[in-house]
Amino acid sequence: MVYGVKIVRKVENIPNYYHVIPVTEDPVPFGEFGRVTSGGSFQVDSGVYIPGDDEDLIPPERITDMESPVSNYEEQTITLVWTSVGDDLDQGTASYYEIRYSTSFDEVLDNFEEANLLTNDDLIQGNISSPLPSGSTETYIVLMPTKGTGTTYYFAVRAIDDVGNQGELSNIAQNTIVPIPDEGLAGWEIFLIVIGCLLGVAMILIVVFLIYYYIDKERKSKPTSDDDQQPEHKYVTKASSDDGQRLENKYAVNPSSDAE
Ligand SMILES: [Ca+2]
Ligand SMILES: [Ca+2]
């Protein structure tokens, strides 16, 4: 006879895999009814346990849009972009990411745990311990160990919540670090250079004009050499102290003959 069901999950290999199994005896006798206790979780046996009501059983959602839009040969980096998921599917904020890569597509797909694990030390940008709230755009820049010679790298990620529930493995993104062929200057680059040159010439012209303007202004405000010779005569005062008395005598003199 079946009395009810209980929810259990295996805790060994597949932590997020739940069973609802029929039971033939009352799990926890409670009055006249069979009730499953809600006072927390406890171990039923070595492999299964009944989760409590407030236990977080929901893993982050699977990331499905991981891409690698760009790589940089000079800086030896590959950029990864994806939309963040939550603590519970697409709700909240996950706790951290597990990102791994390999030069083998199959290794990432079939043997993810064996692929190279990224740590924050490998990241120019991004923090695997601090995912953004669900729905945000994550942009990670990964410093690769080698530029390779046209080596293709494959990446996958999964989000993990605060109690260790793991989201499913994402799609696989790939990129190759290859030297960028020198294609000369693009049209917009030439345009910017021309604009820059024109601005430079304009600045020089403005500076030259201002210098000329102030020199001209200065010149006009000064008396000319002709002006110096205009006063044919000027009065100067000479003081003499003959006989201990100060005498002031005014002479009309020609300044040209007044050099002392
Ligand atoms: Ca969760
Ligand atoms: Ca949680």
Instruction: Tell me the per-residue pLDDT of 182-196, one tens digit each, with 9 for 90 and over.
Output: 667 788 889 999 999
**Domain boundaries defined on the chain:** 4-50, 67-176
Cα of 60 to ligand 1 centre, how many Å? 6
- C-alpha 244/C-alpha 242 separation (Å) is 5
Please state, rounded to an integer, the average pLDDT across all residues of the chain: 80
Centroid of ligand 1 to alpha carbon of 87 (angstroms) = 4
Instruction: Please spell the DSSP secondary structure of 119-181, one letter per residue.
Output: -GGGEEE--TTSPPPTTPEEEEEEE-S---SS-EEEEEEEEE-TT-PBPPP---EEEE--PPP
Q: What is the average pLDDT across 20-27? A: 56
What's the mean pLDDT in 111-140? 98
Homologous superfamily (CATH) of 67-176 is: Immunoglobulins (2.60.40.10)
- Burial class of residue 53 (count of CB atoms within 10 Å of its CB; 0-12, 13-18, 19+): exposed
pTM value is 0.53
- Give 91 Cα–ligand 2 centroid separation in angstroms: 10
Segment 49-61 shows an average pLDDT of 86
Please state, for a pLDDT cut of 90, what percent of the chain lies above it: 54
CA of 61 to the centre of ligand 2 (A): 12
Predicted confidence at residue 178, as pLDDT, reads 84
Q: What is the pLDDT of residue 147?
A: 81
Gap from CA of 172 to ligand 2 centroid (Å): 26
Give 68-85 pLDDT, tens digit per residue.
999 998 899 999 999 999
Distance from residue 55's CA to the centre of ligand 1 (Å): 9
pLDDT tens string 201-229? 999 999 999 999 999 999 888 765 555 55
Query: Across 31-35, 127-131, 151-155, which has the greatest mean pLDDT?
Result: 127-131
CA 96 to ligand 1 center in whole angstroms: 12
Among all bound ligands, the one having the nearest atom to the CA of 85 is 1
Ligand having the closest approach to the CA of 165: 1
Tell how far the Cα of 59 is from the centroid of ligand 1, in angstroms: 4
